[in-house]
């Protein structure tokens, strides 16, 4: 199963992993002659504003992350792949897959509860036709 995580959330996760506040990132951006407010960075992280290539490049340098990593899709089949490589039975692999899906749902629900992830709003499928 492949899950697309918005770039803003990846930036936020990287910033938090480096234990930097939004203000600290904005100050480092100012050193690179990028004028951005803390509110603007917050909007980018929450998916409420697009990010320019110049801003994205500067943020990647500040957070020491590869630009390409932000565009890669996250693969969630790590446990299943591991069990397949270890040549476990198909029944075991199916059980691990169910367990993995349950864990993903718990993590997803926790992120929603904590306000860390807001699903993108979509039009109903019948309106897209």
pLDDT for position 2: 41
pLDDT for position 1: 41
pLDDT for position 25: 96
Could you tell me the end-to-end alpha-carbon distance of the chain, in angstroms, rounded to an integer?
25
Buried b (16+ CB within 10 A) or exposed e, 34-54: bebeeebbeebbbeeeebeee
pLDDT for position 59: 96
The C-alpha atoms of residue 102 and residue 23 are separated, in whole angstroms, by 36
pLDDT for position 73: 64
pLDDT for position 40: 95
Dihedral-angle region of residue 16 (phi above 0 means left; psi in -120 to 50 means alpha; beta otherwise): alpha
- Taking the chain (129 residues) in runs of 10, the rounded mean pLDDT of each run is 70 90 96 95 92 94 88 64 77 86 84 72 67
């Amino acid at each position: 199963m492949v899950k697309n995580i918005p770039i803003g959330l990846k930036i936020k996760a990287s910033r938090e992993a480096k234990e930097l506040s939004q203000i600290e990132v904005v100050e480092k951006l100012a050193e690179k002659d990028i004028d951005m407010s803390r509110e603007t960075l917050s909007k980018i992280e929450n998916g409420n504003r697009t990010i320019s290539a110049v801003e994205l490049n500067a943020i990647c340098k500040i957070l020491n992350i590869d630009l390409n990593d932000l565009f890669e899709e996250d693969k969630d089949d790590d446990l299943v792949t591991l069990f397949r490589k270890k040549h476990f039975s198909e029944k075991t692999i199916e059980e691990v897959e169910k367990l993995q899906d349950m864990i993903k749902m718990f993590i997803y629900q926790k992120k929603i509860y904590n306000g860390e992830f807001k699903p993108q709003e979509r039009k109903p499928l019948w309106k897209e036709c």
